[in-house]
Amino acid sequence: MGLFGKKEMCSICNNHEGKNKLSGHVACNHCFANGRYFLSPVEIMNSKNLELSVMIDAVNKATRSEELSNVFSTTQQIADNFYIDENNRLWAVIVDTFNEKKRIVFKFEDVAAFELLQDGETITKGGIGSVVTGSLIARDMGAIIGGLIGSKQTKKVIQKFEIRVDLKDSFKPFYINLLKGVGWGTSIKSDSLPYKTACKDAENILSALSRLTDLGGSVEESSVTSTSLSDEIIKLKALFDEGILTEEEFNAAKARLLQQ
């Protein structure tokens, strides 16, 4: 509360009472609940020290996700926590934060990199600029996962098996949990059926991430090419307007650009 018992309004939306303390500010339950899916567990537990700008950024990302979710239509589902909408070039993951699940939606081009982690150790990785991307990771993933299951060096007991997805534009990494029903401080045997199922899910999700990363990259490349082409045509038009190029020369140069 503010001075004289007056309610202090949310520093983000200014529509509701701010019941969650931040560093020098407050957030209402609605803004905090939405934004926390884009905060790390440490940031959530120490929210009293959280800067307002960080919370606003998290809420903005949550709003974007909700907007994308409104048009999301699943064309492919992998396991029970990974979804793809190929028509709208979107993908979604179910995030579990303090036992509350929410679907978070991203664009294909949001993905920068991804890696499979087992108890914190990297098993394989891929992403933009990586050697292990595209058809290569899709082709070899079965062998990698199969080797993980069959290797004598595989740990007998696994506590964490997850995929980390690194995103562009200051998004924090997202973790896709592959072990169903394995809570904090518990473990699973590496020769168990649930672990083998998790490995198969990992293979399918990583292959999907590889494919949508390639598709997302092609969108960006197409955008850059289109922009460069427009710039070149604008330059040609300026030369034509200045009388440096004749109309015939301008049309010929423009045609050559469009054919490239």
pLDDT tens, 95-127? 876 677 889 999 999 998 999 999 988 888 776
- The answer as to whether 242 is a domain residue is yes
With 70 as the cut, is the pLDDT of residue 16 above it? yes
Q: Give the CA distances from residue 241 to residues 229, 234, 235, 245, 254, in Å, rounded to whole numbers and listed in that order.
A: 18, 10, 10, 8, 14
Q: Quick one: pLDDT band at residue 231, thresholds 50, 70, 90?
A: low
Q: Are residues 3 and 55 in the same domain?
A: yes
Mean pLDDT on 33-44: 89
The more confidently predicted of residues 105 and 134 is 105
Is there a contact between 126 and 116 (Cβ–Cβ < 8 Å)?
no
Is the CB of residue 8 less than 8 Å from the CB of residue 17?
yes
Q: Do 152 and 167 sit in the same domain of this protein?
A: yes
Q: What is the phi/psi pair of residue 45, to 5°?
A: -70, -25
Query: How much is the pLDDT for 123?
Result: 84
- Cβ neighbour number for residue 89 with a 10 Å cutoff: 14
Residue 164 scores a pLDDT above 90: yes
Residue 193, domain member (yes or no): yes
Residue 97 located in a structural domain: no
pLDDT: which is higher, 181 or 141: 181
Quick one: which of 113, 79, 106, 93 has its CA closest to 203? 79
> 229 pLDDT exceeds 80?
no
Q: Do the domain assignments include residue 238?
A: yes
Q: Is residue 70 in a domain?
A: no
Which pair of structure tokens corresponds to residue 138?
């899709």
Domain membership of residue 94 (yes or no) is: no
The whole domain housing 45 covers: 1-63
Establish if 232 belongs to a structural domain. yes
C-alpha triplet 229, 233, 236: angle, nearest 5°: 140
Based on the structure, what is the number of domains in the chain?
3
- Arithmetic mean of pLDDT over the chain: 80
Out of 63, 79, 106, a domain closes at 63
Asked if residues 188 and 195 have their Cβ atoms less than 8 Å apart, the reply is: yes
**Is the pLDDT score of 84 beyond 80?**
yes
Which helix (H) or strand (E) segment holds residue 78: the answer is: strand 76-78
Task: Give domain status of residue 84, yes or no.
Answer: no
